[in-house]
Structure 1
Amino acid sequence: MRLILVGPPGAGKGTQAGRLVADYNIPQLSTGDMLRAAVAAQSPVGLQAKAVMDAGGLVSDDIVVGIIRDRIAEPDAKNGFILDGFPRTIAQADALAQMLSENDLGLDAVIELRVDQSKLVDRIINRAAEAKEKGEPVRKDDDPEVFKDRLEAYNRDTAVVIPYYEKAGLLTVVDGMQSIDDVSRDIESVLSKLDEKV
């Protein structure tokens, strides 16, 4: 099961990915985490990434795809994976498709958690308040101003991959404004239909 979850910040991708990891025993691959791990492991691609970051540059799509290529070759990803935070651009989506094709792999589904963006800020404010009540640390990206900037960046840069995957026939939209359990149920319904096709 090779999946991509897309949707704006605050749509619930992390929550749903966590449930899918548990249900399907496949890893959630966050490009940020993979980048840090590759640098720490001093793999060839990790050393490349470190050189770029040390020089203050942005890690290229080629390097990120190289890190994903290395990561999906690990034993825990042999049954699939969930990509989180990638691809963010059409160029990255193309590079990912080419890399998967070279490894005789493909994506099973791209699930968009579609949400009412005007209500997302309220959701984030509530999430921060709930964390404070529980005595938990508030995520720094749950600051409403920081969140609005992230939402703008998503709409400007990342939302373009949605029509890309729709055109490829891989996109399924799930209503992300439902309860967490209802969103999980709808995702499960999408994935069970994929199992039937196999």
Structure 2
Amino acid sequence: MRIVLVGPPGAGKGTQAAFLAKNLSIPHISTGDLFRANISQNTELGRRAKAFMDAGDLVPDEITIGMAKDRMEQPDAANGFLLDGFPRNVSQAEALDEMLKGAGMKLDAVLDLEVEEDEVVKRIAGRRICRLDSSHVFHVTYAAPKVEGVCDTCGGELYQRDDDSEATVRNRLEVYHTQTEPIIDYYKSQGLLVTIAALGEVHEITKRAMDALKK
């Protein structure tokens, strides 16, 4: 299957993508991984992307599209893939359609993880990270430490990252609404959109998505 996963920040796309890709035996292709791989391997696209990133500029669509195309042409993606973070706007969605059409392929579904904006803010703004070990992550509501502000595992101080502040989260949501949300209507008009309620336990959301794909 060839699937695109969309949804606002905090909807759980990364977590669901990993589970769905494993269940469907297809590679999980995320924009973040594409950039990291191309930059670490010093590819031409990676060098071009890094130049924009080092200057604090957005990476142009053509570079992101090029990276995605190269990755989707790898042998492990021959029988399908799950795209996470790409396409991020209608121009990229149109480019993806052209790529697939040129290869005699098409998307099977676009999964939209739906979650209320206030819930997104609550999920992200409530995160607390250990200063001694960033892999130790807590949440003031969903996974509170035994002692407020103290890591259960190593006793390190827990803090809120600047990226997780409510103001930053709401700004990220605004960017999502402006740039990415229009692809939902784009795919809906093609009859590809499948909306999944992204509230509940991780396995429950995965089951909803798998059940929807079977239909």
Match of 1:87 in 2: 87
Q: In 2, distance between residues paired with 1:138 and 1:5?
A: 30
What is the CA distance between 1:21 and its match in structure 2? 2.3
What is the CA distance between 1:69 and its match in structure 2? 0.9
Greater C-alpha radius of gyration: 2
Once the two structures are superposed, what CA deviation does each residue of 1:38-70 show, in whole Å capped at 9, x if it has no partner? Answer: 232233433443444455543221221111111
Query: Whose RCO is larger (CA < 8 A, sep 6+)?
Result: 1
Match of 1:38 in 2: 38
Aligned residues: 193
What is the CA distance between 1:126 and its match in structure 2? 4.2
The counterpart of 1:153, out of the listed 175, 178, 203, is 175
What is the TM-score with the length of structure 1 in the denominator? 0.85
Structure 1 runs not aligned, ≥5 long:
194-198
Whether 2:31 is the aligned partner of 1:9: answer: no
Match of 2:28 in 1: 28
What is the CA distance between 1:106 and its match in structure 2? 1.3
Alignment of 1:1-198 (within 5 A): 1-54=1-54, 57-128=57-128, 129-130=138-139, 133=145, 135=153, 140=161, 141-193=163-215
Structure 2 runs not aligned, ≥5 long:
129-137, 146-151
Assess, with a 3 A threshold, how the Cα gap between structure 1 residues 25 and 154 changes in structure 2: closer, same or farther: same
Once the two structures are superposed, what CA deviation does each residue of 1:86-136 show, in whole Å capped at 9, x if it has no partner? Answer: 111111111111112112221111011111112222222444443673559
Partner amino acid, structure 1, of 2:34: M
Q: Percent of counterpart pairs with the same letter?
A: 43
